[in-house]
Amino acid sequence: MPVLFAFLHHLTAFALVAAIAIQLVLLKQKFTLESARKLQVVDRVLGISAGTLLVVGLLRVFYFEKGASYYFANGAFHAKLTFFLLAAFLSIYPTIRFISWNKALKQGQLPEVSDGQLRTMRRVVHLELAAIAAILLAAAMMARGIGYFG
């Protein structure tokens, strides 16, 4: 069972990173009706991946790996959770923007989005990717026992 949950954890992490990368590519392209619809779909995939990643990760912490006492006594684990929450918090802005497009898209119209809003969304997505990179560093540290203070 631990192998299955490790696989699911990695699978959802890769899906999350792919969704963020796709968002960045779509936000750099010309803004069209098609790209707006794709951004909404990709954002849903991102949300589902993030939620699944969190649930599977917590199940691994509490039931399938070294135990909660090990993880909660590891500074790298705390960093990992902090960067995950930072990425989740950052993703709120683009998600709200994408949801606000529903009415226009249902009517087959391109949502009104300023250049400033697109720039802000691109910056936010870059910051999300930076947080993911920090998560990977923390995970590598955890794998080597760095940060354990228990």
Whether residue 107 is contained in a domain is answered as yes
Our count of domains for the chain comes to 1
Boundaries of domain holding 44: 2-143
Residue 96: predicted pLDDT: 97
Say if pTM beats, i.e. exceeds, 0.75.
yes
Look up residue 148 and give its DSSP letter: B
- Categorize the per-residue pLDDT at 66 as very low, low, confident or very high, splitting at 50, 70 and 90: confident
Whether residue 102 is contained in a domain is answered as yes
Q: For residue range 83-136, what is the model confidence (pLDDT) as tens digits?
A: 999 999 999 999 999 999 999 999 999 999 999 999 999 999 999 999 999 999
User: How many helices and strands in the chain, by DSSP H and E?
Assistant: 7, 0
Whether residue 93 is contained in a domain is answered as yes
Residue 74: predicted pLDDT: 95
By CB atoms closer than 10 A (0-12, 13-18, 19+), residue 96 is exposed
Half-sphere exposure (CA, 13 Å, Cβ side) for 79?
18
